[in-house]
Amino acid sequence: MKALSFHQPRAEQIIRGDKTVDIRTWQVQHRGALVVHASSKRRDGRCRALGLDPRTLDYGALVGTVELTEIVSLDEAAYEALREEHLLEAPFPGPSCYAWRLANPRRFDAPIPCRGRMRLFNVVVGQDSILPDSEQTAILPHTRRAPYRVTPPPEPDPEHPFVLYTIPEADNGYRVALYQWLPHNGRRDVRSDDFSRPAPGAMWGIELGGDPLRAVADHLLNALRTNGYKATDLARAAGSEKPFYLDELTGLRLALILLAVKPLTRHDRIEAIGQGVRAMGDEEAYYWFSKCSAGPDALQAQKALRILLADE
């Protein structure tokens, strides 16, 4: 599906159905379904001027869909006539002004974290797996069950149910993939609220790379040291398909950090979340992991955790 990024509060206005025309200086051939992406840029003053609390809006996420029904060229008179539909206060921008008419807005049950792109970009629809983040694709809907993408697959270890891999990137860097073996009957189930839990032995996972990964490097290394690894082991393992096995509590804390920071860019907020998760008591960490890792409200729980720890 095609997606288009909008600053807030425009994305919210569109999903509410208040804004039915978007003004652009360019046009496309595409007509039909369009996924609405709310960019990570905040314009708090504009939100408040419209009576919206910027803290309650979604950022850096796919928030719903609309139908792009037509694109028409506008002159100044036509631009003025459509003010109640495009809701812009700015004067007519001049030639190459196009009205994108939007209809049938539908909000997702929960926002789907995703980095925006310039102009139209693609989102790939998937039901049972997570595709890797890339410059061109995102996953929709954002299920949290990921098949491992390593060979050979990791062997389950009851004492160390989390498995960490480093996956090389084209720029000589790497991202990490953290997987969890789901417990068999009789073992503690840290995901007891999962409404669609896979069969025991299946894998749950998350990947993280780029700036967010670099910002949580200390927490990643601390998790490895806690489980008897050296910091230098991480770099040597990149691309080797060598797994790092983590105990349950260390693994779920690291997973909770990765889940919470994935859509963020500000290092101070990322660090606040990392420190906050590490300062949690064990039961509190189990609680948040059960809420943030699975179930229909997982993304909302992640957002709540970011607000709690980093005042997002």
Quote the percentage of the chain above a pLDDT of 70.
78
The domains of the chain, with CATH numbers, are 2-127+135-140 (2.30.130.30), 162-310 (no CATH)
Compute the distance between CA of residue 56 and CA of residue 36 in angstroms, rounded to an integer: 17
Q: What is the pLDDT of residue 126?
A: 42
Q: What is the pLDDT of residue 239?
A: 58
217-226 vs 248-261: helix crossing angle, rounded to 10 = 170
- Any idea what DSSP says for residue 18? S
Q: Which two structure tokens, joined as six digits, stand for 176?
A: 């990490």
Q: What is the pLDDT of residue 223?
A: 93
Residues 6+ apart with CB under 8 A from 278: 219, 222, 253
Compute the distance between CA of residue 229 and CA of residue 240 in angstroms, rounded to an integer: 16
Coil/strand/helix, residue 285: helix
- 303: which strand partners? none
Q: Which amino acid is at 17?
A: G
DSSP assignment of 76-120: HHHHHHTHHHH---SPP--SS-EEEEEEEEEEEEEEEE----SSS
Q: Residue 131 — φ and ψ, nearest 5°?
A: -90, 155
* Residue 82 vs residue 132, higher pLDDT: 82
pLDDT band at residue 142 using 50, 70 and 90 as cut-offs:
very low
pLDDT band at residue 24 using 50, 70 and 90 as cut-offs:
very high
- Does the pTM surpass 0.75? The reply is no
Compute the distance between CA of residue 74 and CA of residue 187 in angstroms, rounded to an integer: 64
End-to-end CA distance of the chain: 29
Three-state secondary structure of 196-253? CCCCCCCEEEEEECHHHHHHCHHHHHHHHHHCCCCHHHHHHHCCCCCCEEECHHHHHH
The answer to whether the CB of 19 falls within 8 A of the CB of 109 is no
Q: What is the pLDDT of residue 50?
A: 85
Q: What is the mean pLDDT of the chain?
A: 79
- 21: which strand partners? 101
What is the per-residue pLDDT across 170-206, written as a single tens digit (0 to 9) for each? 666 778 888 887 654 333 333 333 323 333 444 677 8
Q: What is the pLDDT of residue 235?
A: 67
Q: What is the pLDDT of residue 21?
A: 94
Helix (H) or strand (E) holding 45: helix 44-49
DSSP assignment of 127-175: SS-PPPP-SS--EES--S------SSPPPP-TT--EEEEEEE-TTS-EE
